[in-house]
């Protein structure tokens, strides 16, 4: 029997201490390199020991799928779970909301579930008790059905397109994958979207059916509420926030860049070149920009400005700034709004050595590049497929920059999501140096030192760098010195890659050490 009533013979009672325990930070697994998708079949923990991700080839539908494996419940167990959840809703008090530690939350839930079972006259096996605890913990503390996905460090986006349709995820390695999670009840999905809004500190309803907010873990949520907006019912898209940024070596590991490109970018960042990362939606622009910030000298004062908190640096002298929506409307306009334009103006009064902007798309660009023209190195992202499109967007409304300010951009990194051997990957397609912006729209003179060849999936150093010549002139450096530094740093990055040093903290420590004692670092890695 799955549960027992009073008077029936019972298995040994659970011990009074807390039984339910989860591993909240499981070890990130290494994804096996399997050349044929049809042979992919592996699983890894998400909420250990209860929830696992299982990625395998679905031969029936001829596609790679992502399945969440959780403890199974039969109909009687599900009925008991629903009873317990209703009871928990009535028992939870305001103090529960103020509990800070996971251990305290678990202890609180376990105590109340035991009380409910006693009141109902139901006794359960330890196995069933733990299964109930998992689902209560998942639904009351976490984000219901999608909570295991929120624990998966490989997931970038979670997409629900309504009821009776599977949730899709964007996996860092395998890209778009169908899952086995489906909301079959429109009321449950509607209630879940309401819960997401509450988590963001916002309100969603038929009168206000659109949600754009930030979850407690800094992930971004966009959702719709009713069938009037989407015929399939409420929808949601979650863009995951990763507290651990990808290091430059990690980008090498996934073949987004080559060591030569990274060595070039390291020199450019050190000598305060201004650059823009461009690409389409989902190309990984902000993640790439974050990785390039690893090369900023350790003592430099950095100010970052974003709509949504995505940039995460290890530098101690870093001031992160995020915009804020208006809290109301008054006679003088929006009350309490803090936009990119305002934050940028303030940032240049804070004596920054570097200014990083998550994405420019409006009048704030004028302030940013004015700052660049006055000697503050800047870096930002922008939605554009190529340099020509970027320049046109900068020179036309609503931005309307004069060519002299556009010319403050030293180089542009073009990143894109492409297909290599049928697999969606991210590649830095080119690094383009801006030499001259003419007065006529579209009149651009550039130099392209690095390009990516899609046929061979390799990077090429095509021509000499104009930026090397510019840096040599501005800083009184010899070309021989710059070329030598470029070669040494390329070797260092290759050696870090060879030793599988991809952890962001380790990589940052080595880069910081190189700024202080380059000779010791090179000697340590056997380069000199």
Nearest CA among 340, 195, 365 for reference residue 276: 365
Q: How many CA atoms lie within 13 A of 102 on its CB side?
A: 11
Tokens of 167: 């949730």
Q: What pLDDT score does 390 carry?
A: 95
> pLDDT at position 16, please?
44
Q: CB–CB of 285/279 below 8 Å?
A: yes
pLDDT of residue 97: 52
Q: SS3 for 297? A: coil
The pairing of beta strand 423-437 with beta strand 411-420: antiparallel
Each residue's pLDDT tens digit, 310-344: 888 999 999 998 877 665 554 555 565 777 888 88
pLDDT tens for 233-290 read 999 999 988 778 899 999 999 999 999 999 999 999 999 999 999 999 888 999 999 9
Q: What pLDDT is stored for residue 6 in this prediction?
A: 39
Residue 9 pLDDT more than 60? no
pLDDT of residue 351: 85
CA 337 – CA 521 distance, rounded (Å): 47
Query: In what helix (H) or strand (E) does residue 66 lie, and over which residues does it extend?
Result: strand 63-69
Q: What angle do CA 176, 217, 81 make, to 5 degrees?
A: 80
The full 3-state SS of 440-459, as one line of letters, equals CCCCEEEEEEEEEECCCCEE
317, exposed or middle or buried, with CB in 10 Å at 0-12, 13-18, 19+? Answer: middle
Within 374-517, residue ranges assigned H as helices are 387-395, 403-406, 466-475, 479-498, 504-516
Q: How confident is the model at residue 13 (pLDDT cuts 50, 70, 90)?
A: very low
**pLDDT: which is higher, 114 or 32:** 114
DSSP secondary structure letters along 316-355: SSEEEEE-B--SEEETTEEES-B-HHHHHHHHTTS--SEE
Q: CB of 221 within 8 A of CB of 236?
A: yes
pLDDT higher than 90, residue 150: yes
Segments in 21-125 forming alpha helices (H): 75-91, 94-97, 102-120
pLDDT tens profile 424-442: 889 999 999 999 998 887 7
Is residue 8 predicted with pLDDT exceeding 50?
Answer: no
Kindly report which listed range (24-28, 367-371, 379-383) carries the lowest average pLDDT score. 24-28
* Segment 101-113 mean pLDDT: 84
452 CB neighbour count, 10 Å cutoff: 23
Nearest CA-CA partner of 289 in 430, 412, 376 = 412
Mean pLDDT of the chain: 88
What proportion of the chain, given as a percentage, has pLDDT over 70?
92
pLDDT in tens, 483-502: 999 999 999 999 999 999 99
Please state, in angstroms and rounded to a whole number, the distance separating the CA atoms of residues 461 and 120.
73
Structure tokens at 15: 């011990």
The CA-based angle 187-192-193, given to 5 degrees, is: 100
Are 67 and 166 within 8 A, CB to CB?
no
The pLDDT of residue 353 is above 90: yes
* Beta-bridge mates of residue 334: 329
Length of the chain, please?
Answer: 528
Domains of the chain in start order, with CATH, are: 1-141 (no CATH), 155-241 (3.30.450.380), 248-324+335-524 (3.40.50.300)
């Amino acid at each position: 029997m799955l549960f027992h009533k009073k008077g029936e013979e019972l298995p040994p009672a659970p011990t009074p201490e807390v039984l339910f325990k989860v591993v909240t930070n499981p070890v990130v697994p290494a994804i096996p390199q399997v050349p044929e998708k049809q042979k992919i079949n592996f699983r890894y923990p998400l909420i250990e020991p209860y929830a696992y991700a299982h990625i395998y080839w679905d031969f029936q539908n001829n596609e790679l799928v992502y399945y969440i494996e959780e403890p199974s419940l039969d109909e009687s167990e599900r009925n008991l779970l629903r009873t317990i959840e209703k009871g928990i809703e009535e028992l939870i008090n305001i103090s529960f909301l103020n509990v800070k530690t996971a251990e305290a939350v678990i202890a609180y839930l376990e105590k109340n579930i035991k009380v409910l079972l006693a009141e109902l006259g139901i006794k359960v096996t330890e196995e069933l008790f733990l299964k109930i605890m998992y689902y209560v913990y998942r639904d009351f503390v976490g984000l219901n059905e999608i909570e295991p996905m929120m624990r998966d460090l490989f997931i970038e986006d979670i997409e629900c397109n309504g009821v009776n349709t599977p949730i899709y995820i964007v996996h860092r390695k395998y890209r778009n994958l169908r899952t086995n999670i489906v909301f079959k009840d429109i009321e449950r999905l509607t209630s879940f979207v309401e819960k997401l809004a509450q988590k963001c500190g916002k309100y969603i309803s038929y009168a206000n059916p659109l949600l754009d907010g930030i979850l407690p873990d800094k992930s971004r949520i966009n959702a719709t509420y009713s069938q009037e907006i989407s015929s399939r019912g409420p929808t949601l898209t979650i863009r995951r926030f990763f507290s651990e940024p990808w290091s430059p070596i990690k980008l090498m590991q996934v073949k987004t860049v080559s060591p030569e490109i990274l060595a070039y970018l390291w020199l450019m960042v050190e000598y305060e070149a201004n650059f823009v990362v461009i690409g389409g939606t989902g190309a990984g622009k902000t993640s790439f920009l974050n990785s390039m910030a690893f090369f900023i000298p350790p003592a430099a004062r950095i100010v970052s400005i974003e709509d949504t908190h995505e940039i995460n640096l290890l530098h101690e002298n870093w001031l992160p700034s995020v915009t804020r929506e208006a809290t109301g409307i008054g006679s003088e306009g929006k009350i309490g709004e803090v936009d990119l334009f305002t934050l940028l103006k303030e940032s240049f009064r804070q004596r920054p050595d570097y200014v990083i902007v998550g994405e420019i798309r409006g009048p704030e660009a004028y302030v940013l590049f004015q700052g660049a023209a006055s000697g503050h190195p800047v870096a930002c992202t922008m939605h554009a497929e190529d340099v020509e499109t970027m320049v046109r967007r900068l020179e036309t409304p609503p931005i309307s920059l004069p060519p002299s300010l556009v010319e403050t951009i030293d180089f542009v990194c073009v990143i894109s999501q492409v297909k290599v051997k049928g697999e969606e990957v991210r590649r830095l397609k080119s690094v383009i140096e801006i030499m001259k912006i003419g007065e006529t729209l579209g009149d651009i003179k550039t130099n392209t030192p690095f390009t990516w060849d899609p046929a061979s999936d390799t990077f090429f150093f095509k021509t000499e760098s104009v930026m090397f010549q510019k840096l040599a002139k501005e800083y009184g450096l010899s070309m021989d010195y710059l070329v030598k530094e470029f070669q040494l740093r390329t070797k260092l990055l290759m050696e870090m890659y060879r030793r599988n040093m991809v952890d962001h903290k380790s990589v940052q420590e080595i880069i910081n050490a190189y700024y202080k004692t380059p000779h010791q670092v090179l000697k340590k890695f056997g380069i000199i």
